[in-house]
Structure formats: C-alpha cells, structure tokens
A and B are shown apart, each in its own frame.
Chain A
Amino acid sequence: NAGVTQTPKFQVLKTGQSMTLQCAQDMNHEYMSWYRQDPGMGLRLIHYSVGAGITDQGEVPNGYNVSRSTTEDFPLRLLSAAPSQTSVYFCASSYGGIYSNQPQHFGDGTRLSIL
C-alpha cells in the first residue's frame, strides 16, 4: 500500500513551458486535491475532485488545469509556467474529503522551480 504517490519529486522549468505533475493513490479514495505550499503561508487549495469525472476550483486555480478520469489518478497541469508558480505542490486524498470530516493523506510533494 503506497498511499499517495507524486512524481516527479523535483522539476525545473523555463517560463512558458508546460508540464504535468502526477498524483496517484491506491486507497480507493473518492476525494483528491492539489495544494501549493509557499514559505510563511499555509497550504492553499488549487483544485479538487470529489470523484472520477468531477473536478472543481479551489482558492488559487489560475494557471492550472486538472482532470480525473480514474479514481486513482489526479494529474495537475501547468499550462504556461510562470515564476510565481515556483512552489512545493502537494496532492492529497481522503474517503469523503472535507464534506465528511475525514483527514487527508498527503504525498511527499513536487518541488517546482520556474526560471
């Protein structure tokens, strides 16, 4: 049981490039989410999904796209990378998400630098 797996662990991009951050979970969780973590700030929700085929925007969605074609996978796409998107990105999952008051399980993060 691997939990939540994020790849890659590190990535450096040039401004304007696009890329996809991968997230997979093997716990059959319906709820998955993406956060970014910046120094001195709490985690901020980018996008979330309450189940396969359903996604919604969080607090800071601009510049990011997501899709949820399967229960296991929830990739995050940067459309055109900008230096302001330099951050550590965390994917999380839980049985019912915030609607069921269940704690989320987090991956170990992807550290992304945009030059």
Chain B
Amino acid sequence: GESVGLHLPTLSVQEGDNSIINCAYSNSASDYFIWYKQESGKGPQFIIDIRSNMDKRQGQRVTVLLNKTVKHLSLQIAATQPGDSAVYFCAEISNDYKLSFGAGTTVTVRA
C-alpha cells in the first residue's frame, strides 16, 4: 500500500557530527515533501520542504535530498547540536492531495 516511512526508528549521533535521517515512500504520485521536528511535549515544527521538481534543497544547517528514482528522501543536519535531539518525521502530499506522515526517527545527540 501507499505509505511514508523512515528507515530507522532511532539514531544516536555524536555532538558535532553530521546526521542523516532517511525516509522511504511508495507513492510515485507524491509531489511535495516536508520534514518536521518534534521536541518532547511540543507539536511538530516545520524544518524544510522540497517539491518533486527539485532533488536538493538547503536551509540553515539542514539539507533535504530527494531521489525520485528510488523514492527516497533524506534530511541531513550539519554539526549536530544537543538542541537537535527530537523526533523527526517526513510527510508527503500526493498529486491527488493525499497527505501521509511517517512514524518518525528519534535522534539522540551524545555530548
């Protein structure tokens, strides 16, 4: 079936290292993707988005890569900081306006 998911439920990263969070999707009709960050006790917070006509988009310390050939989305965080500890999840909107969220990856930053 159509779903959005993340490869790993947890990720532990050393402070200062780069983090890579992955997301696989199965709906080839999806044309808009969003990464959210959710801190404990808070609502999801928009990080970055990308449309299907792009394969890379950069923000402040974050980069999203989209590989439509293998239906893969990734979020790269440069120089990971303790404040980056959170649950990250991807969301996709298909061209028939179906919105799906992945279950999330919990990122823990080690000091």
> Mask for B29-66, Cβ within 8 A of A = 1, else 0?
00110101000011111100101000000000000000
Interface residues on B, range: 20 to 34
Chain B CB within 10 Å, residue with most, of A43, A44, A105: A43
In whole angstroms, how far apart are the Cα atoms of A101 and B51 in the complex? 9
Interface residues on chain A, number (Cβ under 8 Å): 19
B87 — nearest CB in chain A belongs to which residue?
A37
Let me know if B13 is at the binding interface, CB within 8 A: no
Those of A1-51 within 8 Å (CB) of chain B: 4, 40-45
Report 25 cross-chain contacts, Cβ distance below 8 Å, ordered by A residue: A40-B103, A41-B103, A42-B89, A42-B102, A42-B103, A43-B44, A43-B91, A45-B99, A92-B43, A98-B97, A98-B99, A99-B97, A101-B31, A101-B32, A101-B93, A103-B46, A103-B49, A105-B46, A106-B43, A106-B44, A106-B45, A107-B43, A108-B41, A108-B43, A109-B41
Residues of A within 8 A of B (CB): 4, 40-45, 90, 92, 98-99, 101, 103-109
